Structures are given as structure tokens and as C-alpha cells.
A = this chain, B = another copy of it.
Amino acid sequence: MGAPLLSLSQRVRPTPFSRRVESAGAKAYTTYNHMRLPSMFESVEADYHHLKRHVQVWDVACERQVEIAGPDAARLVRMLTPRSLAKAEVGQCLYTPMVDETGGMLNDPVTVMLAEDRYWVSIADSDLLFWVKGLAYGTGLDVNVFEPDVSPLGIQGPKADDLMARVFGEAVRGIKFFRFEKLAFGGHDFVIARSGYSKQGGFEIYVDGSDRGEPLWDALMAAGEDLEVRAGCPNLIERIEAGLLSYGSDMTRENTPHECGLGRFCRTVEAVDCVGRDALIAMLKDGPARQIRSLSIEGEPVPACTEWWDVTVDGEPAGRVASAVWSPDFQCNVALGMIERAHWEPGTQVTVEAPDGPRSAEIRDGSFI
């Protein structure tokens, strides 16, 4: 169907940047962690070309933080993920698949190590806070778990370093990938990480204190006028090209980190505190039965992918596609799908059952960019 209207309410929470996003002409939104997430400004294609050439400011406040602080904080974080945190250091941002006792994915957040006993878990779209609170209460750990007033602002695109240096100083250029530093604007130190939901480079500013949102937004826009800075948002085309996963679409509680292709982030045997360890180890021997793959889909631009599309080989089930869109740069439809083992080798020809009919598609060896 065409995009319907979105009825807004307080339940779909406004962000510290919502007024600026609205003024900037956001035409479409999605919702994420009970919050507004813009999804389109000029058009998805125009936003995409701009992101790849210039720099954008993204309201990703919906990446809510679960703050875990206190004497048992490190212990509790270790329970959440099969990623080994033995060598984690303060200043690191760690992509951490988080699983339940069955090894099923509950979220794929970035865990920001603020101190040995203080973490911000910057979450994808599920109330991970509830799982962490439940675990903390049930186990009686000495820890404080809550959602602080912290709203990430993304600065993404090839000119991100230049823009950020104008506002936070040259030191921003020295921030390493998936590391953060604290840099000042307006007399306040912000946690700034080199990270973000695109492959165009950039930063996420963890804006602690909603009142600080608009002044920072305005300063970035003013400083970047000649860089053609614009309000933007995670871009459907670019993130599929980049193979960046969307929790709830590409993967759910039904999937293990290995099915999601996140095995490289797991050290399950070493992660002795992880609540999903036994379940994951039991599955290690056989390996995953399905895994996320990038695909190219032939033919004209596909319709909006608003539901899972079946993938078949010779009429037999071979998986499903969760995300698909036309790519102007690759001049084909780019997609992400969960593909059965028998059919996941690069080069395998499959059929995608799109709503407008079956289409030929090919399993790729890695993402497009």
C-alpha cells in the first residue's frame, strides 16, 4: 500500500529535536522505542544522494540509553551478551548482540563503557530496559538500571569531520572508530563517539539533557551551511547497501547472533556470565541453519517491503527477505534476507516472492558497500 498517515500522540514520544525536525520538513516518520524517528525529508533517494556527498544531522534520540551503574554493573552487562568484555576499556563503544536464555536476540545495541561501573546501552527497537531491570531484580545484583535523559544526535556523511571540528574543535578528528571522547560545546562536555547507522562515516553525540538539544542542533546547522549540511535520518537504501541490520525486521527473538551473521562479535565460550551461553554453545557444533545475506533482486524497482517476502528455490522454502529497495548507485534492487544454509552460498540463484510477482535474485558475497 502507499504510506498511510501516522497519528501522533505523547505515547509516540517527541524528542529534544522534534521541533527542528518538523521545521526541516520531515515528510515521513517511523516509530522506534516508543519515539518519533524521521524516515524521509526530500525523498528517500534525494536524502540518499545527499548523505553520500555531504553531511547530515540525524535525530536518533530513539536510540534510548539503558544506564547500568553500580558495583555489579560490569557483572550485569556480562550477563547480557555473548561478546567477551574481558578486554573492554573505558572509552570504548562495543556492538553487543544481547540474548535471552535461549540464545535469541533481544536487541543489538552499542554498549558505551563510561566507567568500570557505569554503562550506557544504546538500544535498537525493543524495551531492553525491562529485561535488564528484571534480571537485576531477580538476581539481586547491586546495580541501578534506568533510562537517563540522553538523546543521540547523529552526524553522518563524508563531511562529518569537518562539520564537527567547527563546533567541537579539531580534537574531534582524533576520535577513533567505536571510541568516544568528551568534548565541550556551550560549556558542557558531551560524549561523542565515532559511530552511526551508515557507512558514510561520522559521529553520534550523546546529548545528555533535553534542553541542550536545540542549541546544539542550531549550532551544527549554522556552522555547516557551506558544507550543505541538512537534517537527515537513517536512509533505507544506504543501510541495506551497507548491510546494516534492523532489529525487528532482519532479525527477531527467534534468531541467534550466529544466524544474524554476528558470530564475529561473540566469544561465547569465554563469556561465562552470559545467560544465553549454554543454549548458544549447544548450537555451535552444528552451526546456524540460516543466516542473513545480502541479495540483489532483478527487475524494476521493487514495491515497498512492508512485510517479509518468501524466498524459494525450485518452489521450496529457502528463507525470507525483510528489507529491499531500489539502489540508484547499483542500478538494482538491494536486499537483506534470512537464507537457509542449503542456499546461502554467494552466487546462488533464488526466487523472491515479491507482492507484484516472483523475481530472480542472487545471494551476494557480503554487503554492497
A interface residues with partner B (beta carbon < 8 Å): 1, 3-14, 22, 26-31, 34, 39-40, 100-101, 106, 125-140, 147, 236, 246-249, 253, 275, 304-308, 322-323
Contact = CB atoms under 8 A, between A and B. Distances in A.
A103 to B, nearest CB: 13
Contact of A305 (B9, B22, B39, B236): B9
Given A6-B6, A34-B125, A131-B133, 11 more contacts: A3-B5, A6-B30, A7-B30, A9-B323, A11-B125, A126-B130, A127-B131, A130-B134, A134-B135, A138-B140, A147-B253
Contact of A4 (B29, B132, B306): B29
Among A8, A135, A136, A247, find the residue whose CB has the most chain B CB atoms closer than 10 A: A8
A306 B12 CA distance: 8
Given A22-B1, A28-B4, A10 B322 contact: yes
A3 B7 CA distance: 6
Contacts of A246: 9, 11
Contacts of A131: 127, 130-131, 133-134
Contacts of A236: 7
A1 B22 CA distance: 8
B9 A100 contact: no
A245 to B, nearest CB: 11
B34 A12 contact: no
Given A126-B127, A131-B133, A6 B3 contact: yes
A126 B101 CA distance: 21
Contacts of A127: 126-127, 130-131
A106 B275 CA distance: 23
Contacts of A11: 30, 125, 246-249
B249 A9 contact: yes
Contact of A10 (B3, B6, B26, B305): B305
A197 B81 CA distance: 38
Contacts of A306: 8-10, 14
26 contacts: A1-B8, A3-B6, A4-B5, A4-B8, A4-B26, A6-B28, A7-B30, A8-B306, A9-B30, A9-B246, A9-B323, A10-B248, A10-B305, A10-B307, A10-B322, A11-B125, A14-B307, A100-B137, A101-B133, A127-B130, A128-B130, A130-B131, A131-B134, A137-B275, A138-B139, A138-B140
